[in-house]
Amino acid sequence: MRTALITGINGQDGSYLTELLLKKGYNVHGILKRNSVAENQTARLDDVYHIIKDNLYYADMTDMASLVRVLQEVEPDEIYNLAAQSHVRISFDQPIYTTQAVAVGTMNLLEAIRLICPQVKMYQASSSEMFGNSMDDDGYQRETTPMNPTSPYGCAKVFGYNLIRNYRNSYGLFLSNGILFNHESPRRGTNFVTNKVVKEAVKIKYGLTDKLMLGNLNATRDWGHAKDYVKAMYLILQQDSSNDFVCATGISHSVKELCEYTFTSLGLEYQDYVGVDEKYYRPEELDNLKGDPSKLRSIGFEYTYTFETMLDEMINYWIDFYSKK
């Protein structure tokens, strides 16, 4: 039985990855960051908590000693580094913490791996935010596209991405980057635009609110489903050698299209309810993201969700939630 360690196990991606790896027969362990609201720590893991409850560890990416302790105890075959302060807009408000958690945290984990378990395979959750407004002539971002981040979060992710490549080349470690484009689900935090739009639209449908304020409606993103992307993470670590892969759908939609599809699905006109508030704009806007998944597809990856079926699932989740209120 192979053993996997997931940092950020209680997040959207961590919870779906846990379920996937358990189905594949893994012994799954996870790192949590302690907070004062214990009942919210593992909510996304409710379906599998009874299986992994004794395999959860409190540690912090900024505390290398705590990471060393966990690696010594777990002795993993695979590590999936998903822990981060991942909200881009918040990274402008908390740039130092974001850098410590995302950039320095990755260095701490790599040093712990180098010293404790250099034979392990590690997946690093890199981000499309690293590209910023840089794109190839055809409008796509690829593994070879120059990186020009437009946020503290994107800058921190570039540092982590390059550390992975540096430690791979310097020490011969199995370290792979998955450059994740936007990926959503009902488990996505409601401070992220997709689940914010869907949740508030359903609340409007049920008469619980009457307005939704957003930022840049013309920004376009390449949105996939988190369930698909955790399959990509797993697949990347099953390769014979480590490498870097763009994880994207190759199709982009605007925030306006997101609103239009969601509200239309609920029998509403988004123009009647959606407004723009400048406070939701970033200090430096990122206009367009669209990834080329050709390299990922070349190792056998296939998608199961479309933009529309992803949103349908999220809409149905919130309809079910509010219909029981």
Query: Which one of the listed residues 15, 66, 127, 265 is annotated catalytic?
Result: 127
Q: Residue 306: how many CB atoms within 10 A of its CB?
A: 14
The helix (run of H) or strand (run of E) holding residue 123 is: strand 121-127
Do 182 and 13 touch, CB atoms closer than 8 A?
A: no
Cα 176 to chain centroid, rounded: 16
Question: What is the total residue count of the chain?
Answer: 325
Query: Residue 150: helix, strand or coil by DSSP?
Result: coil
In three-state secondary structure terms, 30 is strand
Cα separations in angstroms, 230 against 52, 101, 154, 264: 18, 21, 21, 29
Reading the block at residue 163, the tokens are 């550390």
Find out whether 212 and 201 touch, Cβ atoms under 8 Å.
yes
Is 129 marked active-site?
Answer: yes
C-beta of residue 117 within 8 angstroms of C-beta of residue 71 = yes
| Half-sphere exposure of residue 122: CA atoms within 13 angstroms, side-chain side | 31
The per-residue DSSP string of 246-307 comes to: EE--S--EEHHHHHHHHHHHTT--GGGTEEE-GGGS-SS---B--B--HHHHTTT------H
Is 57 part of the annotated catalytic residue set?
A: no
Q: Is 127 a catalytic site residue?
A: yes
Is 164 within 8 Å of 110 (Cβ atoms)? yes
Q: Of 153, 161, 273, 305, which residue is the catalytic one? A: 153
- CA dihedral sign, ordered 71, 75, 76, 77: positive
Q: Which of 19, 129, 184, 200 is catalytic?
A: 129
Catalytic residues: 127, 129, 153
